[in-house]
Structure 1
Amino acid sequence: MNTHLQFEVARWLEQDPDERTRAEILALQQTGDDLELAARFARRLEFGTAGIRGVVGAGPGRMNRLVVRQTSAGLGQYLLAQVKDAKTRGVVIGYDGRNDSCQFAHDAAAVLTAMGIRVRLTFKVAPTPLVAFGVKHFNAAAAVVVTASHNPPEYNGYKVYWENGAQIIPPHDAGIAACIEAASNTVIPLMDLSEATKAGLLVWLQEDYFQTYRRAVTSAAELNNVGKLADISLSYTAMHGVGAEMAETLLHDAGFSRVYSVAAQRQPDGNFPTVAFPNPEEKGAMDLVIAEASKQDALLACANDPDADRFAVAVKSAPGQYQMLTGDQVGVLLADHLLRHAPANQKLVGNTIVSSSLLAKVAFAHGGHAFTTLTGFKWLMNVAQTLQTEQRRFLFAYEEALGYTVGSTVWDKDGLSAQLAFVQLVAGLAASGQSLWDRLEAIYRQHGFYLNEQISIKLNENTPDIGAGLRATPPSHIGGVAVSEIDDIQSSTRWFADGRQQTLDLPASDVLIYRLANGNRVIVRPSGTEPKIKCYYEVVTPVDDTETLTQVQARARALMDSFISSHQASLPE
Structure 2
Amino acid sequence: MEVHLQAKIKHWLSLDADEKSRKQIHTLLDNGDSDELAKRFSGRLMFGTAGIRGVVGAGPMRMNRLVVQQTSKGVAEYLKAQIKDASTRGVIIGYDGRHDSKQFAHDTAAVLTSAGIKVYLTEKVAATPLVAFGVLHLHAAAGIVVTASHNPPQYNGYKVYWENGAQIIPPHDSGIAARIEHAATQPILLMSHNEAIASGQLIILGDDFYQAYRCAIKQAITLQNHTVPARVSLAYTAMHGVGADMAETVLKDAGFTQVYSVAAQREPDGDFPTVNFPNPEEAGAMDLVMAEAHKHSAMLACANDPDADRFAVAVRKLEAVADMAASEAYQMLTGDQVGVLLGHYLLSHAPDNQRLTCRTIVSSSLLSKISASMNGICETTLTGFKWLTNVGMAKQTRDNQFLFAYEEALGYTIGSMVWDKDGLSALVAFAQLTAELAANNQTIWDRLEIIYREHGFYLNQQVSIALTADSGAPTIGEQLRALAPSQIAGRAVVSVDDISVGTRYYADGREEVIDLPDSDVLIYQLDDGARVIVRPSGTEPKVKCYYEVVEQFVDTDSLQTVQARAAQSMAKLIKSHQQELPG
Q: State the SS of the aligned residue for 1:117.
A: coil
Aligned equivalent of 2:366: 358
* Residue 466, structure 1, aligned to residue 480, structure 2: no
* Residue 481, structure 1, aligned to residue 491, structure 2: yes
Aligned equivalent of 1:173: 173
> What amino acid maps onto 1:327 in structure 2?
G
1:373 to 367, 381, 402: 381
Q: State the SS of the aligned residue for 1:563.
A: helix
Aligned equivalent of 2:524: 514
Alignment map for 1:126-525 (pairs within 5 Å): 126-225=126-225, 227-317=227-317, 318-319=320-321, 320=324, 321-462=329-470, 464-525=474-535
Aligned equivalent of 1:528: 538
Contact map agreement 2:227 2:432 (CA 8 A) in 1: no
Shift of 1:346: 0.3
Contact map agreement 2:166 2:390 (CA 8 A) in 1: yes
Contact map agreement 1:230 1:428 (CA 8 A) in 2: no
Contact map agreement 1:232 1:299 (CA 8 A) in 2: yes
Q: State the SS of the aligned residue for 1:471.
A: helix
Q: State the SS of the aligned residue for 2:249.
A: helix
Q: State the SS of the aligned residue for 2:164.
A: coil
Contact map agreement 2:225 2:432 (CA 8 A) in 1: no
Instruction: Provide TM-score, normalisation by structure 1.
Output: 0.99
Shift of 1:225: 3.4
> What amino acid maps onto 1:375 in structure 2?
T
Contact map agreement 1:231 1:255 (CA 8 A) in 2: no
**Equivalent-residue separation in structure 2 for 1:446 and 1:510 (angstroms):** 34
Contact map agreement 1:352 1:373 (CA 8 A) in 2: yes
Aligned equivalent of 1:103: 103
Contact map agreement 2:521 2:533 (CA 8 A) in 1: yes
CA deviation map 1:264-322 (0-9, x unaligned): 10000001011121000001110111111111111100000000000000000022400
**Equivalent-residue separation in structure 1 for 2:510 and 2:130 (angstroms):** 47
Shift of 1:499: 1.6
Shift of 1:226: 5.2
Contact map agreement 2:497 2:523 (CA 8 A) in 1: yes
CA deviation map 1:215-243 (0-9, x unaligned): 00110000003544452111100000000
What is the aligned length? 573
* Residue 114, structure 1, aligned to residue 114, structure 2: yes
Alignment map for 1:52-63 (pairs within 5 Å): 52-63=52-63
* Identity fraction in percent: 66
Contact map agreement 1:230 1:431 (CA 8 A) in 2: no
Q: State the SS of the aligned residue for 2:132.
A: helix
2:561 to 523, 542, 551: 551
Contact map agreement 2:489 2:576 (CA 8 A) in 1: yes
CA deviation map 1:63-109 (0-9, x unaligned): 00000000000000000000120000000000000010000000000
* Residue 561, structure 1, aligned to residue 571, structure 2: yes
**Equivalent-residue separation in structure 1 for 2:106 and 2:568 (angstroms):** 53
Shift of 1:475: 1.1
Unaligned runs of 5+ in 1: none
**Equivalent-residue separation in structure 1 for 2:226 and 2:342 (angstroms):** 12
> What amino acid maps onto 1:120 in structure 2?
Y
Q: State the SS of the aligned residue for 1:276.
A: coil
Q: State the SS of the aligned residue for 1:260.
A: strand
Q: State the SS of the aligned residue for 1:486.
A: strand
Shift of 1:4: 2.0
> What amino acid maps onto 2:32 in structure 1?
G
Shift of 1:464: 4.5
**Equivalent-residue separation in structure 1 for 2:43 and 2:249 (angstroms):** 44
Which deviates more from structure 2 when the two are superposed, residues 305-314 or residues 32-41? 32-41
Q: State the SS of the aligned residue for 2:151.
A: coil
**Equivalent-residue separation in structure 2 for 1:362 and 1:268 (angstroms):** 38
* Residue 67, structure 1, aligned to residue 75, structure 2: no
CA deviation map 1:437-482 (0-9, x unaligned): 1111000000011000111111223374111111111211011110
Contact map agreement 1:226 1:425 (CA 8 A) in 2: no
* Residue 540, structure 1, aligned to residue 550, structure 2: yes
Instruction: Provide TM-score, normalisation by structure 2.
Output: 0.97
Shift of 1:17: 2.4
> What amino acid maps onto 1:85 in structure 2?
D
> What amino acid maps onto 1:271 in structure 2?
D
Contact map agreement 1:226 1:341 (CA 8 A) in 2: no
> What amino acid maps onto 1:70 in structure 2?
Q
Q: State the SS of the aligned residue for 1:189.
A: coil
Contact map agreement 1:445 1:543 (CA 8 A) in 2: yes
**Equivalent-residue separation in structure 2 for 1:472 and 1:285 (angstroms):** 43
Aligned equivalent of 1:80: 80
Unaligned runs of 5+ in 2: none
**Equivalent-residue separation in structure 1 for 2:469 and 2:459 (angstroms):** 31
**Equivalent-residue separation in structure 2 for 1:540 and 1:533 (angstroms):** 23
Q: State the SS of the aligned residue for 2:69.
A: helix
> What amino acid maps onto 1:457 in structure 2?
I
Shift of 1:114: 0.2
**Equivalent-residue separation in structure 2 for 1:543 and 1:219 (angstroms):** 40
CA RMSD in angstroms comes to 0.9
**Equivalent-residue separation in structure 2 for 1:297 and 1:437 (angstroms):** 16
Q: State the SS of the aligned residue for 2:379.
A: strand
Which deviates more from structure 2 when the two are superposed, residues 464-473 or residues 454-463? 454-463
Contact map agreement 2:360 2:381 (CA 8 A) in 1: yes
Aligned equivalent of 1:92: 92
